[in-house]
Amino acid sequence: MPTALIAEDEDLLAAHLRQELKALWPALDVVAMATHGEEAVTLALRHQPEVCFLDIRMPGMTGLEAAAQLADEWPDGTPFPLLVFVTAYDQFALQAFERAAVDYLLKPVQRERLAQTVTRLQAALAQRQAPPATLASAIDQLRGLLGVQAASPKPAGGGPVAPLRHLQVGVGDAIVLVPLDEVVYLEAADKYVRVMTADQEYLVRISLRELLPQLDAQRFWQVHRGHIVHVDAIDRVHRDDTGKLTLRLRHRPEKLAVSRMYGHLFKAM
């Protein structure tokens, strides 16, 4: 019997989707219902469903971020779930979903459209590849979608925004301008970002998700959902027996793990 998880923070919409799925796909067993992204990750890892319906705009962690964390933590050798994103995005964003080859449902979910999704899911489940292939495919798709989500902000004139050169940090009753050239890495700390230089640590009131589009993508790489590293500060990359990557930094003692989502950034020439 195929299994599914539904992650939706609005109870009525979650109940409606479950009811419609029951009518269209009686054999599908909805094994878990989550109301936010963190709960979706926890329940998906526990139940390992074959399909996950993820609302994009949930409190805290978005549906895309939840899917990315799942890809990082999913056990080796187990088929990764087929992902369906439930979204209220505009047409531009929907086209991005289509290009990334991940199915989506537009709110409010219509039975006719859901029936098409069910047919696609049933066909995909019948033709599933080996687990490494399904996980690698999902990671490639998620990279494309996260790239859309993290697209550079545009000013009113429509041109690209110049990358930040300094971070303005409140220290006591003063504001310190920290040159980004001096930053070794940035670390998520709830609604803040911890800014690490060679010999100092600062706290900035902004989320890592908000800060990322303002950085120079050639110089600052996200290597984990909680870390962005200055490329020039990387000394070497270590790969262990399981294929997991760890960064050793210049000027800092910490070692940073590289998640599956960002392992493609490090390839020997």
Q: Which two tokens stand for residue 259?
A: 């998640």
**Confidence band of 150 (pLDDT split at 50, 70, 90):** low
Q: Is the same domain home to 185 and 103?
A: no
Last residue of a domain, one of 149, 175, 193: 149
pTM: 0.80
For residue 23, give its domain range.
3-149
Q: Are residues 175 and 85 in the same domain?
A: no
- Percent of the chain residues past pLDDT 70, beyond the cut: 87
pLDDT in the model for residue 153: 43
Helices (runs of H) and strands (runs of E) counted in the chain: 7, 15
Where does the pLDDT of residue 198 fall: very low under 50, low under 70, confident under 90, or very high at 90 and above? very high
Share of the chain above pLDDT 90, in %: 64
CATH number of the CATH domain containing 172: 2.40.50.1020
Phi then psi dihedrals of residue 242, to 5 deg: -90, 0
Looking at the structure, tell me whether residues 187 and 60 fall in a common domain: no
Question: What is the per-residue burial (b if ≥16 Cβ within 10 Å, else e) of 80-100?
Answer: bbbbbbbbebeeebeebbeeb
- The CATH code of the domain that includes 124 is 3.40.50.2300
Going by pLDDT thresholds of 50, 70 and 90, the confidence category of residue 155 is: very low
| Residue 155, in any domain of the structure | no
Q: Which of 59, 96, 82, 88 is nearest to 5 (CA)?
A: 82
Query: What is the structure's pLDDT at 231?
Result: 97
pLDDT digits (tens, 9 = 90+) for 108-130: 899 999 999 999 999 989 887 66
Checking DSSP bridges between strand 183-189 and strand 227-230, what pairing results, if any? Answer: antiparallel
| 118, 224: one domain | no
Average pLDDT over residues 233-239: 96
What is the model's pLDDT at position 96? Answer: 63
Q: Is the pLDDT score of 221 beyond 90?
A: yes
In a domain, 30, yes or no: yes
Q: Which among 222, 225, 187, 221 has a CA at the least distance from the CA of 70?
A: 225
Domain end point (choices 149, 183, 215): 149
Looking at residue 133, its pLDDT comes to 67
pLDDT averaged over every residue in the chain: 88
Strand partners, 53: 6, 84
Q: How far apart are the first and last CA of the chain?
A: 46
Would you state the pLDDT for residue 141?
81
For residues 32 and 144, state if they share a domain.
yes
> Which of 170, 168, 228 has the alpha carbon at shortest distance from 196?
228
Whether 229 and 138 share a structural domain? no
Q: How confident is the model at residue 226 (pLDDT cuts 50, 70, 90)?
A: very high
Query: Helix (H, G, I), strand (E, B), or coil: what is residue 66?
Result: helix
Asked whether residue 103 falls in the same domain as residue 202, the answer is no
pLDDT reported for residue 190: 81
Shared domain check, 15 and 145 = yes
State whether 114 and 192 are in the same domain: no
Is 141 found in the same domain as 21? yes
Decide if 227 is inside a domain. yes
161 falls within a domain: no
Same domain, 256 and 174: yes
> Is residue 99 situated within a structural domain?
yes
- Whether a cis peptide bond, with omega within 30° of 0, leads into 108 is yes
76 pLDDT tier (thresholds 50, 70, 90):
confident
My answer on whether 121 and 250 are in the same domain is: no
Confidence of residue 100 (pLDDT cuts 50, 70, 90): low
Q: Number of structural domains, the chain?
A: 2
Final residue of a structural domain among 149, 184, 199: 149
